[in-house]
């Protein structure tokens, strides 16, 4: 290896080392779709809505139905519409419409803050 090739290799190694050792600056992400409801987050940090991940009854019903369909099937869950949702102590309770025996109705409880599914049942 001649001197010029050596200098090129050493220069490449130094450049790669510098690039790998630099830390990327966090990027600020702004959500303009709903002014006032969203807050900026830095790159690599999880976004947390101020009203929780499940802020309203429509969202609670959507999340609960997704879980219920996975457990009981689409046909059973569709047969229990319309679903209702009520909020008590930051816990959403979502219930299917009560139908005469033997169909029963589904019920799910989930956290308003983080969407954790706390309870699922189906009565008969």
Domain definitions of the chain by residue range: 57-122
In Å, how far are 43, 66, 74, 78, 82 from 70, measured between CA atoms?
A: 33, 6, 8, 12, 18
| pTM summary value | 0.63
**DSSP-based three-state secondary structure for 55:** coil
Architecture of domain 57-122: Roll (3.10)
pLDDT at position 61, please? 93
pLDDT digits (tens, 9 = 90+) for 71-92: 988 888 888 899 999 999 999 9
Per-residue confidence (pLDDT) for residue 6, from 0 to 100: 60
pLDDT at 42 over 50: yes
Helix, coil or strand: residue 27: coil
- Region 111-124: mean pLDDT is 89
Mean pLDDT taken over the chain: 76
Query: What is the spatial distance between Cα 116 and Cα 63, in angstroms, rounded to a whole number?
Result: 10
């Amino acid at each position: 290896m001649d001197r010029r090739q050596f200098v090129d290799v050493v220069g490449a190694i130094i450049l790669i080392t510098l690039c790998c050792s630099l830390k990327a600056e966090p990027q600020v992400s702004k959500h303009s779709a709903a002014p006032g409801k969203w807050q900026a987050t830095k790159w690599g940090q999880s976004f947390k809505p101020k009203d929780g991940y499940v802020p309203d009854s429509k969202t609670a019903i959507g999340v609960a139905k997704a879980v219920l369909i996975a457990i009981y099937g689409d046909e059973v869950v569709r047969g229990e519409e319309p679903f209702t949702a009520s909020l008590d102590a930051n816990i959403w309770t979502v219930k299917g419409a009560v139908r005469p025996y033997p169909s029963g109705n589904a019920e799910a409880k989930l956290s308003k803050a983080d969407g954790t599914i706390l309870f699922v049942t189906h009565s008969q």
